Structure 1
Amino acid sequence: MAQTQSSAGPRWLAAAPPVPAFKAPATLKTWEKQRRQIRATAWAALGDLPPRPKAPVAQTLSREDRGYYTLERFSFDNGAGDTVPGYLLLPKSGPARKPAILYCHWHGGQYDVGKEELFRTNALPEPPGPALVREGFVVLAIDAYCFGERNGRGPGGAGERGGAGELSASKFNLWYGRSLWGMMVRDDLMALDYLCTRPEVDAARIGVTGISMGATRTWWIMALDDRPKTGVAVACLTRYQDLIAAEGLKYHGIYYYVPGLLRHFDTEAIVALAAPRPMLFMTGEQDAGSPVAGIRAIDAAVRPVYRLYRAEADFENEIITGLGHVYTPAMWEKTRRWFRERL
């Protein structure tokens, strides 16, 4: 009997090499050693990334008085053929050194938006930049590859915008043995490097957050760098094997895929690297890009790692009934409260 088309994902997964299982070890000492190995493997999977300077040399392009905060426009050379533009929002009141949020914008096919998400409601119930400033946070956001001011600045030139430019950027990086995702996260870490140099910022109190692609950027940043003290990832906690089984690869663009990663581990190993720092995940039960079975598998694997630190309460993974790929006012309020209490 011919196999039905609906069984293709599970069939491909069953025929692929098995993904090594991830399980928390019995002792913290063993985990700390394993953690170093997982982080090194994750870095290697991202590819042969160009080294980044200890502190990017950022150029302040303009300053604008926005009443209760100052908006700075800046850019830095990423050392890989591109200039990264960004926004820095600086509250006027409060202590001289303030907590800060590295804000990671989403994808949504909205290539012209990028960092402008700080001032829009394309992804959130209210413009997140000014809202976080009112909470007393310095806020920084950059345009990811192919977004905002970088749309049409890929290797295909100005004639390639949107998805076409993203595809060409992926092709280019694959030829050089690296992933577009690795290059995107590298830029995010350069933005974090810059944020830590600012005299207005208390570098010991930095959080990172985003929805969708921004959520995935959030948990990868938390995995690869110990400087962020907490993170909130909304609407994108995706276990890769479960995404394949649900035939959901179409829900994520080419930028998202890291060659060879499943030869070593799945999402739970990456997320576990954030422990014991507080992490909040909020995902809709009906979000097709993050199958619920995978979210539960991640929870079951990561929670014991937090338990090794006696920090299980700092790992909060909420599956919200009846919701899809959205960011509701209640979720946004919980994000703001999370950062108020932990930064």
Structure 2
Amino acid sequence: MRTRPRPLLVALLVPLLGALASGGYLALRGHRIGQGLLHPPHVPVQRPAAQEELAGLEDVSFSSADGLTLKGWYVPSRNRAAVVLVHGFADNRSQLLFEARSLARAGYGVLLFDLRGHGESGGDLVTWGDRERRDVTAALDFVSRRQDVDAARLGLFGFSMGGTTSLLVAEKDPRVKAVAAAGAYPALEADIYSGYGRWGALSAAPVLWTLRGAGVDVDAVRPIDGMCQLQGRPLLLVNGDVDPDAPAKLQASLFRAACEPKALWVVEGAGHGEYARVSPDEYARRLREHFDRALLGSG
């Protein structure tokens, strides 16, 4: 004779089983998201359509401190100053052709390169600013050795993940005399919660566990903690006011944490990386003037 489940026991078991199932689903979902963040698909590098737009463009390569070969393009300097450009997640150097053209036309040497795990560079693991710091440092090493460049006139620009990485490097490397970051995030953990924390720790924690399990030092990717370490070197932050990937409140926290001299430009109507589309002339002007003041003593 079968015993029927007691109503009270059923009432307790059903929500418990449901919670366990939901937790398992969120854990699996977060792990898959984390794997996608570590191993994004490769986007083909698109060479500039017209070589005249970046006159003298050279194919270059150099190595990171941990032995990865990094590929890029370099445009020689005509004013003895140079700016390293650092692209965002799941893209490559060709993402920043607008910024490169704007600065090259003003006489700057410009280095665009692919971060590890992106474009034509080596590596198959993206660490969201942790090990990418080595790539940016290697790029600065490359530019500082160029005969056309005064090593005391180096600038750094980064977008999104590249912006966060650029801030981390600039805080520690005094060779960077001016830095600009667009769509950057103040801390990797905060960015994960912003993007994937719909259910709080239940949905964000599995993503973070996956990153940490792959060796990413999540706690080291916190440029907000060292913004005043720029110690008088000019900072420009750029953000769109309708950016879902780098919300204005996150960018504003970076700005508040920084010391002078600093500037924040919020581009009305721009999403993530849409500054050149929404306001191309002003965007180009602001970049040029920012680096002119710091690297050329003008503007």
TMscore range, shorter length: 0.5 to 0.7
Q: Percent identity?
A: 25
Distance 1:240-1:99 versus aligned 2 partners, 3 A rule = same
Q: Larger Rg: 1 or 2?
A: 2
- 8 Å contact from structure 1 (residues 242, 291) kept in 2: no
* Structure with bigger RCO (C-alpha 8 Å, 6+ apart): 1
Q: Which whole-Å CA distance do the structure 2 matches of 1:214 and 1:261 have between them? A: 17
Pair 1:218-2:202 in alignment = no
Give the alignment of 1:167-316 within 5 angstroms: 169=125, 181-240=129-188, 242-243=190-191, 246-248=194-196, 258-259=216-217, 261=219, 266-302=222-258, 306=259, 312=260, 314-316=261-263
SS in structure 2 of the partner of residue 290 of structure 1: coil
Quote the RMSD (CA, aligned, Å).
3.5
Residue 88 of structure 2: aligned partner: 106
Residue 10 of structure 2: aligned partner: none
1:190 maps to amino acid: A
After superposition, give the CA deviation of every residue in 1:267-301 in whole Å (9 maximum; x if it has no partner).
42132322311000011222222233333333333
Residue 74 of structure 2: aligned partner: 88
Distance 1:297-1:279 versus aligned 2 partners, 3 A rule = same
Pair 1:73-2:35 in alignment = no
Runs of 5+ unmatched residues, structure 2: 1-14, 20-50, 198-203
SS in structure 2 of the partner of residue 128 of structure 1: helix
Q: Which whole-Å CA distance do the structure 2 matches of 1:234 and 1:180 have between them? A: 15
Pair 1:318-2:270 in alignment = no
SS in structure 2 of the partner of residue 181 of structure 1: coil
Q: Which whole-Å CA distance do the structure 1 matches of 2:236 and 2:211 have between them? A: 26
Residue 115 of structure 2: aligned partner: 144
2:160 maps to amino acid: S
Q: Which whole-Å CA distance do the structure 1 matches of 2:224 and 2:132 have between them? A: 21
Residue 42 of structure 1: aligned partner: none
- 8 Å contact from structure 1 (residues 74, 85) kept in 2: yes
- 8 Å contact from structure 2 (residues 188, 218) kept in 1: no
SS in structure 2 of the partner of residue 280 of structure 1: strand
Aligned-pair CA distance for 1:195: 0.9
SS in structure 2 of the partner of residue 87 of structure 1: strand
Q: Which whole-Å CA distance do the structure 2 matches of 1:241 and 1:217 have between them? A: 14
Runs of 5+ unmatched residues, structure 1: 6-64, 120-126, 155-164, 171-178, 307-311
After superposition, give the CA deviation of every residue in 1:35-91 in whole Å (9 maximum; x if it has no partner).
xxxxxxxxxxxxxxxxxxxxxxxxxxxxxx859832222222335343222221115
Q: Please give the TM-score of this superposition, normalised by the length of structure 1.
A: 0.58
Residue 95 of structure 2: aligned partner: 117
Aligned-pair CA distance for 1:238: 3.4
Q: Aligned pairs, how many?
A: 233
Aligned-pair CA distance for 1:266: 4.7
Q: Which whole-Å CA distance do the structure 1 matches of 2:150 and 2:219 have between them? A: 34
